[in-house]
């Protein structure tokens, strides 16, 4: 006779989980019920929150945008591995990062905010996370999902993971392929999408892996898997991506080696089974978030906005280089370093922008900023040519398609290909007067609200609720500078 726990509806006449009463009706002997699949930690359903931006006067003032999202995820994760107490100042309290904190608690680590506003984690040591009894719900965040997949792939237990309607459309094979080579296995929906199960290995093998796409998430997932793998795990990248993982692992005492590899590539590697030592982390203001008030100030004449403590890791700051090439008046002052990351204050003034050709090799250093760059390009004089944008199609939405559709609805002339976009600016703000679809994408929503501060007619976004994933307080911060953004 078959193992009872493996009996199916065909063999028993009932679905898994049906009650004993029901079973008796079918006249089948009682049996040990199947373990129910754990339910997700949170089942957040956003009520759509339309927002409208109207042409505003000059933006003025000094503000600090919330903490860097990439660094916040990593600070919590590394704190959850480190021995001792890690204090994290300036953590982004956006929904994406709060989901990471909840997932780490479900994995047995401590991660809480203190009464003093400082977050504290108490870690479990490398390889010390515990099997979760809940589904890890990573919400809207590809970074959280992919980095945790890396970590969990070399913990010898099974975890279940899901995400919101945007995250479950995003490709995961880019991480599962190398992690399977290290010994983990995954059960994902067809085409490698979440929800799915991560079956960690107890016999991980180190790999040397050349990234087929420029992705810091994939690089980080492999390096994190390598922390609990004997020997040296190496990731080779031909296009350098953000290096927050490498910098922060060093800050926690791990010897991360970065060397030049063949053909000018970079090889980042770790030797497994070292321990992370708890360290304080100060999270800089997010350069991706700062780009929204920065572009808003640039496209409103006579604006003067200071953005304090912005992270300016050279692998993240490409948008500021591009904006300066467009004629933007942006000064960097008070340059300093915190926890291995460079930062500065930005002074941004209203500027007459001109279209430029953005070098495609700069894309990894500004990949999240193309939507807001499009808002700047729509107000600039002449064409702005953007190439090498294939990755934009697999972000929180297909950002290339969403930007093109929204810009056209606002009266902007453009041309688009599979991985390129040309925005034809006229030197004057476009007409606007459209309702733009945002497809659960925080950066699409914020980019069109920024554009709407300059357009002749207001711009409405169909749902601003996802802005909270990365930039809680966006509307209040912008309006405090003089923007006119309100509930639609």
Nearer to ligand S3P, 70 or 465 (CB): 70
Tokens encoding 393: 């199609």
What are the backbone angles phi and psi of residue 25, rounded to the nearest 5°? -55, -35
Q: Closer to ligand S3P by CB, 124 or 316: give it.
A: 316
Q: How far is the CB of 242 from ligand S3P (least distance, A)?
A: 6
Q: Using the rule CB under 6 A, give the single segment among 54-62, 191-199, 214-222, 292-300 that binds ligand S3P.
A: 214-222
> Does 220 help bind ligand S3P (rule: CB under 6 A)?
yes
Minimum distance from residue 408 beta carbon to ligand S3P (Å): 24
Does position 367 interact with ligand S3P (CB under 6 A)? The reply is yes
Write out the chain in H/E/C secondary structure.
CCCHHHCCHHHHCCCCCCCHHHHHHHCCCCCCCCCCCCCECCCCCCCCCCEEEECCCCCEEEECCCECHHHHHHHHHHHHHCECEEEEECCCCCHHHHHHHHHHHHCCCEEEECCCCCEEEECCCCCCCCCCCCEEECCCCHHHHHHHHHHHHCCCCEEEEECCCCHHHCCCHHHHHHHHHCCCEEEEECCCEEEEEEECCCCCCCCEEECCCCCHHHHHHHHHHHCCCCCEEEEEECCCCCCHHHHHHHHCCCCCEEEECHHHCEEEEEECCCCCECCCEECCECHHHHHHHHHHHHHCCCCEEEEEEEECCCCCCHHHHHHHHCCCEEEEEEEEEECCEEEEEEEEECCCCECCEECHHHHHHHHHHHHHHHHHHHHCEEEEEEECCHHHHHCCCCHHHHHHHHHHHCCCEEEECCCEEEEEEECCCCCECCEECCCCCHHHHHHHHHHHCCCCECEEECCCHHHHHCCCCHHHHHHHCCCEEEEC
Reply yes or no on whether 368 is catalytic.
yes
User: 85 or 419: whose CB is closer to ligand S3P?
Assistant: 419
Identify which of residues 137 and 368 has a Cβ nearer to ligand S3P in the complex: 368
Does the protein bind ligand S3P through residue 469 (CB under 6 A)? Answer: no
**Residue selected from 86, 176, 217, 475 as contacting ligand S3P according to rule CB under 6 A:** 217
Nearer to ligand S3P, 215 or 306 (CB): 215
Q: Which of 65, 216, 436, 485 binds ligand S3P (CB under 6 A)?
A: 216
Question: Is 242 one of the binding residues for ligand S3P (CB under 6 A)?
Answer: yes
By the rule CB under 6 A, 215 interacts with ligand S3P: yes
Stretch that binds ligand S3P, among 12-20, 191-199, 215-223, 400-408 (CB under 6 A): 215-223
Check binding of 99 to ligand S3P (CB under 6 A). Answer: no
Q: Under rule CB under 6 A, which residues in 379-398 are in contact with ligand S3P? A: 391
Residue with Cβ nearer ligand S3P (215 or 351): 215
Of 96, 286, 345, 368, the active-site residue reads 368
Minimum distance from CB of 147 to ligand S3P (Å)?
7
Stretch that binds ligand S3P, among 48-56, 211-219, 246-254, 413-421 (CB under 6 A): 211-219
Shortest Å distance, C-beta 108 to ligand S3P: 23
Among 143, 162, 233, 397, contact with ligand S3P (rule: CB under 6 A): 143
The count of residues interacting with ligand S3P (CB under 6 A) is: 10
CB of residue 256 to ligand S3P, shortest distance in Å: 15
What residues are annotated to the active site?
A: 368
Binding site for ligand S3P (CB under 6 A): 70, 143, 215-217, 220, 242, 367-368, 391
């Amino acid at each position: 006779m078959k193992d009872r726990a493996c009996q199916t509806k065909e063999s028993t006449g009932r679905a898994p989980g049906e009650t004993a009463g029901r079973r008796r009706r079918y006249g089948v002997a009682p049996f040990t019920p199947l373990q129910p699949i754990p339910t997700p930690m949170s089942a957040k359903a956003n009520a759509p929150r339309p927002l409208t931006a109207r042409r505003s006067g000059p933006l003025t003032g000094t503000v600090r945008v919330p903490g860097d999202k990439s660094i916040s995820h990593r600070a919590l994760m590394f704190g959850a591995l480190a021995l001792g107490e890690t204090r994290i100042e300036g953590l982004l309290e956006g929904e994406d990062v709060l989901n990471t904190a909840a997932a780490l608690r479900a994995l047995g680590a401590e991660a809480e905010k203190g009464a003093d506003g400082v977050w504290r984690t108490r870690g479990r040591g490398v390889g010390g996370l515990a099997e979760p009894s809940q589904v890890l719900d990573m919400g809207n965040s590809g970074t959280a999902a992919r980095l945790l997949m890396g970590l969990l792939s070399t913990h010898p237990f099974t975890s279940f993971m899901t995400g919101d309607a945007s995250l479950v459309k995003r490709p995961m094979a880019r991480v599962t392929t190398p992690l399977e080579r290290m010994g983990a296995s995954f059960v994902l929906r067809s085409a490698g999408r979440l929800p799915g199960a991560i079956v960690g290995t107890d016999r991980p093998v180190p790999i040397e892996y050349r990234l087929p796409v420029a992705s810091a998430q994939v690089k980080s997932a492999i390096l994190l898997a390598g922390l609990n793998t004997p020997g040296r795990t190496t990731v080779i990248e031909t296009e350098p991506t953000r290096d927050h993982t490498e910098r922060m692992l060093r800050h926690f005492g791990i010897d991360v080696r970065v060397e030049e590899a063949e053909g000018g590539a970079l090889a980042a590697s770790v030797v497994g089974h070292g321990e992370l030592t708890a360290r304080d982390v100060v999270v800089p203001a997010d350069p991706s978030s700062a780009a929204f008030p920065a572009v808003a100030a640039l496209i409103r004449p006579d604006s003067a906005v200071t953005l304090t403590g912005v992270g300016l890791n050279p692998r993240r700051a490409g948008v500021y280089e591009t904006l300066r090439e467009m004629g933007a008046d942006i000064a960097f002052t008070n340059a300093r370093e915190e926890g291995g990351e460079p930062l500065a204050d930005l002074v941004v003034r209203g500027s007459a922008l001109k279209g430029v050709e953005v070098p495609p090799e700069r894309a990894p250093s500004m990949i999240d900023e193309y939507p807001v760059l499009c808002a700047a390009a729509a107000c600039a004089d002449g064409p702005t040519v953007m190439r090498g944008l294939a990755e934009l199609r697999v972000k929180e939405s297909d950002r290339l398609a969403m930007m093109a559709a929204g810009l056209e609805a606002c009266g902007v002339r453009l041309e688009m290909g599979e991985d390129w976009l040309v925005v034809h600016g006229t030197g004057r703000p476009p007409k606007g007067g459209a309702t733009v679809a945002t497809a659960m994408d925080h950066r699409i929503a914020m980019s069109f609200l920024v554009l709407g501060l300059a357009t002749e007619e207001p711009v409405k976004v169909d749902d601003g609720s996802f802005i909270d994933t990365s930039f809680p307080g966006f509307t209040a911060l912008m309006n405090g500078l003089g923007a006119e953004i309100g509930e639609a």
